[in-house]
Structure 1
């Protein structure tokens, strides 16, 4: 069944909501929707209290390790962590309390997918595929082609997922959600562009309940006005009835 999945996005040690496509090396180009007064652990506790499994903690650049560890300590074994993960530190993050590690850029050296790196990562995790999430952040090319984007959405790889709406609240990419429901035989979460409860219903309908949705900037707990966190929790509860 389709579920709402929450997030904790970290930038410079703070919980923020950022327009993903502006995360380049130029600070002046960075567009921030929201900077929280609460630490990462606050949101982890909030998700724990509401039994919201599958939340991801994403470290956007350097200076976020401490905040990420704080979140993981607040709800060990229940949060996924990503951002700068590789075969050398993946097991360490699991030891620090992550339920899974999330990988993108490490798998695409020079913009090309590396099976060797994927194998090395799995080996570092003891061969446990359930501890690995592959983040296929992507940009649309043409009417119905999507290519994996890495390095904070700045580099388009040669790997086709066969429009990055992150942080813009422009709605979900309906074609991509439909394709994901057909292509994927494992759990998958669509993140980017979610605006309200109607988008949860939309993803549920388009995917026949096979794709989950993360909503970030539109949530009231992140300064948004599109949907309340409590309503998302209620929506999840109703899906199990």
Structure 2
């Protein structure tokens, strides 16, 4: 299990939010942490610690002034750590290449591919043709409904008809290099991982999967490693001391980044 760091940007600032609270109306979200540092600060730190494969997420809708501010912040991060981070949020066939040219290693896509509740294979194939399978990450962030996990889009506000299961993972893995999966119902709450989802993802291992959501302690990391059969990478946001939480970033880096034994504390 590898630690994948994150930089979430909302209203032009690096933040940690409660994932399920995002609303396009008045650009609102429940905030756990608002940083006084810019995105470049965090990217420089991740570069110093050799933490590749993390992600930058732009949380405002494309086409708004805040999205432009988000992009300005993101470019600072990409300049500090060229080739070291992925980027997602408002990615389409039209702008994907520009983000790669700015220094992103991959583009992360949800809403452009999961459109009108279904998988839009035309858009998916356009992306693959434009940037290549090896530069594409599909974000399968999901919420539970009627006992199954459904992919959600538009900053996690809209349910699709696409269920996260073995068949979906098999099909979509033919089009991308990695999956990113936010467990939206626990995202930003540091209240424990989504165990059932972790088990499901841990049963599948054709391409890398990064899990995000609910990690609040080293116990959660141990549980994630166990239930995910050590096949999943992990992102930690609000729970990190970098973002006002109690988990020490330095201990995560030493425990996961160098594959050492995780601390025993919960």
- Provide the TM-score with structure 2 as the length reference: 0.85
CA RMSD of aligned residues (A): 1.5
Contiguous gaps of at least 5 residues in structure 2? 61-66, 166-183, 262-266
Deviation per residue, 1:55-97 (Å, 9 max, x gap): 1000011131110011000010010000000001111111110
Contact 1:9 1:57 in 2 (8 A): yes
Aligned to 1:105: 111
Contact 1:4 1:200 in 2 (8 A): no
Residues 205-220 of structure 1: matches in 2 within 5 Å? 205-220=226-241
1:237 is displaced (CA, Å) by: 4.0
> Distance between the aligned counterparts of 1:157 and 1:48, measured in 2?
36
Contiguous gaps of at least 5 residues in structure 1? none
> Distance between the aligned counterparts of 1:129 and 1:97, measured in 2?
17
1:201 is displaced (CA, Å) by: 1.3
> Distance between the aligned counterparts of 1:237 and 1:60, measured in 2?
27
Deviation per residue, 1:129-173 (Å, 9 max, x gap): 121100011001233x10000111110000000262111112111
Q: Does residue 1:234 correspond to 2:254, yes or no?
A: yes
> Distance between the aligned counterparts of 2:133 and 2:106, measured in 1?
9
Contact 2:51 2:257 in 1 (8 A): no
More off after superposition, 158-167 vs 171-180: 158-167
1:29 is displaced (CA, Å) by: 5.2
Aligned to 2:143: 139
Q: Alignment partner for residue 162 of structure 2, among 143, 153, 159?
A: 159
> Distance between the aligned counterparts of 2:9 and 2:205, measured in 1?
28
The total of aligned residue pairs comes to: 236
Aligned to 1:77: 83
1:51 is displaced (CA, Å) by: 0.8
> Distance between the aligned counterparts of 1:239 and 1:28, measured in 2?
39
- Provide the TM-score with structure 1 as the length reference: 0.94
1:193 is displaced (CA, Å) by: 0.8
